[in-house]
Amino acid sequence: MSGDLPLRSMRSSHIEPAARPRELAAELGLSGEEYDRIEATLGRVPSTAELGTFSVMWSEHCSYKSSRVHLRRLPTTGEHLLAGPGDNAGVVDVGGGRAVAFKIESHNHPSFVEPFQGATTGVGGIVRDILTMGARPIALLDPLRFGDPTSDRTRWVVDGVVRGIGQYGNSIGVPTVGGEVVFDPCYQGNPLVNVLCVGVLPADGVQRARAEGVGDVAVLIGQRTGRDGIGGASVLASTDFSSAGDDAKRPNVQVGDPFAGNTLIECCLELYARDLVRGIQDMGAAGIVCSSAEMAAAAGLGMRIDLDRVPLREPSMQAWEILCSESQERMLALVGPDRVDEVVVACARWGVDATPIGVVTDDERLVFERGGVVVHDAPARALADEGPVYQRPLAPWVHPAAEEDVDTSAPPDDLRAAAMAVLTSPNIAPPTWVTQQYDSIVGSGTVQGCGASAAVLRLPPADGWGVLPADAGGVAITTDGNGRWCALDPELGARLVVAEAARNVACTGARPVAATNCLNFGSPERPEVMGAFSATVDGMSAACIALGTPISGGNVSFYNATDDQSIHPTPVVGVLGIIDDVTAAVPVAPPDPDVVLCVVGADARPGLGGSEYLWATAGRIAGPPPAIDLDEERRLQDLLVSTGGAGLLRSAHDVATGGLLTTLVEVCGDRWGAEVDVDATLPVHQWLFSEAPSRVVVTVDAARVDELERACIDAALACRRLGVVTDDRALGVGDVLQLDLDVLAAARARVFTDLFEAAEETAAPTR
């Protein structure tokens, strides 16, 4: 089928220039300097199609033009990494001939403009990133951040986002096994919808997004191309919002079809298994131009595509619209000429369209034709690799209350009221209203899911098929972020976030080996935002190096600002760990009572800076975040992995948001109670609510406490006996606090239902 592609072998000597090119460039978000650079690259006035492709490929979202100089400081190599930054997703060798692909992405701006479709296509996009690496998607995690939960606007956004995530993930049969739900006024105008996907593949089966040979045929696989999503990368993801309204941006939001997504997954996996493709790329941001430019540039080759062959939903589409459309459920595969027929037949068997649209060339040019006329002729590398790189001005990020000494503040007048305020905060209460809308067990690989320290997944065989063995090895995966810490101190906050994510993985007994990041920030044109970004990268780099979790890939989301009001610097980190036997994974709550509670790791110390206690009781963000010793953190994680793997720990759960009291309530779960002694070395409110890191509450059989204490001594870590787990559903904290856990559980269960149960699918309320 490749021989009948009507593509000329010579470049056209004349391309129709765009009318009013400078004005059009400005409308598309290109600066005057960027336009001059395009004209110099082409040696002529660009066409309308070329201005469209350069605007999306050189957008902040696609080119990383403001972040690239800083991202180079992140560690990106490790003994387990098979693929890293520059690929569609990171790939980790987990042994046994298997590998795991994982990555986190953002769909923040589309999810605010159109919450349901924004979240739906966010899930679909990250799933295809994993699929593009050759992996079967097996799990999703969704870190979400919203504004004031009592506002109509937030309720509308939450309702749409949660339904969108559930609808796509449930429909394609990929379980949602974790994530976060966080509320803070800074996200009122810019909610964060980050999505992480995990997939499994043979360790020797990694697919690459690059051309392999001149004459290979470009085959468009999947849905028809429409006008939805045009300019998503440049209009939505690379500009600020304004409170004047966002209705005009709704056409820039893509529309997803999970059932088409599901057949696309199965179709592509068959193509991989039969070795029918030589390169493949998802058509996500920037559509056809991005996938073709990146694959051609990666090999130093070119590509020539006939846009008349692209199946369209709307035949009246112009060339630039076809090139820049971000219509979903589409892939661009490169296929040997002698195997095109096999690919078309295989796709048809799944009900998936496969259309040859172009060929790989040896001239390093990206040439598009429409109606027998060349409408675009530009160097592939200029689009994919040679966009502008900016060293934006940096200024310190300063929070006005960052230096306030909150750790010496007076204790609350009513300790019980303070405890209830923290435990029933929507940032602490269990988000069952959210998670019950997700299928968390489809596929039968979920060992621990929503509510665990980290999700634990039993991996299928390397080819993604077959029965899951009961004692299969697997992985643990989690996401963490803390915008309050990073608002107070971006560098320290980033260290704390990485450490918490890795610690949560280690709590299950899995060894953390790699990380992925989603860096959510305001406008890069503000020096203080770039100062925070640079500091965040430095903190993340230091923590990843110390903890052995190199960055395998990720995403930068800038322009999360409305009317010049930025969100908190919000790095979200996903950490992956390897566990030899998922049946031995350590849970949050012990399986039986009458075990001893201990806190291991760092000594108890003040840590109310940026805490949930300050927010829940006083609505304040203040004080320096708690300090962290990364060497001590590494020793703690090593201890958790070794003692968990040896069967010493009956449960493990880290002290994090909400402090020790929240950890104890979550360890008791819905079955147990506890009696604990108060540590008199700290004021009781500090002891209960401090979020100082590197501490984990574990349970151990009474006969083995000495063994745990010896292990802690060998690791130069503290081990303090807290008390015992009981079966009477009460939490007694010395003589200072008594909580009926059944009454508390009922109050916590009402938090989300009271806020969101009545949410309806209505027109978007005003901000």
Residues with catalytic annotation? 61, 107
By the 10 Å C-beta count (0-12 exposed, 13-18 middle, 19+ buried), 761 is classed as exposed
| Category of 636 on φ-ψ map: left (φ > 0), alpha (ψ -120 to 50) or beta | alpha
375 φ, ψ to 5°?
A: -110, -5
Tokens read off for 526: 């503000």
Longest distance between any two alpha carbons in the chain, whole Å: 87
- Cβ–Cβ contacts within 10 Å for residue 75, how many? 18
What single DSSP character describes residue 312?
A: B
- Cβ–Cβ contacts within 10 Å for residue 312, how many? 17
Whether the Cβ atoms of residue 570 and residue 512 lie closer than 8 Å to each other? no
Q: Nearest Cα to 117, choosing from 404, 409, 370, 326?
A: 326
Q: Is the dihedral of CA 288, 130, 556, 85 positive or negative?
A: negative
Whether the Cβ atoms of residue 714 and residue 636 lie closer than 8 Å to each other? no
C-alpha distances out from residue 603 to 17, 600, 682, Å? 69, 8, 11
Whether the Cβ atoms of residue 274 and residue 346 lie closer than 8 Å to each other? yes
Report the alpha-carbon distance of residue 674 to residue 676 in Å, rounded.
6
> What residue spans of 558-658 are helical by DSSP H?
612-618, 630-645
Report the alpha-carbon distance of residue 323 to residue 703 in Å, rounded.
68
- For residue 720, the cross-strand partners are 599
Beta pairing class for 354-361 and 217-222: antiparallel
For 401, how many CA atoms within 13 A lie in the half-sphere containing its CB? 13
Question: How far, in whole angstroms, is CA 294 from its chain's centroid?
Answer: 22
By the 10 Å C-beta count (0-12 exposed, 13-18 middle, 19+ buried), 747 is classed as middle
Query: Residue 378 corresponds to which amino acid?
Result: A
End-to-end CA distance of the chain: 53
Q: Is the dihedral of CA 337, 281, 62, 532 positive or negative?
A: negative
By the 10 Å C-beta count (0-12 exposed, 13-18 middle, 19+ buried), 692 is classed as buried
Residues whose CB is less than 8 angstroms from the CB of residue 662 and which lie 6 or more positions away in sequence, other chains included: 422, 423, 428, 612, 656
Coil, strand or helix at 447: strand
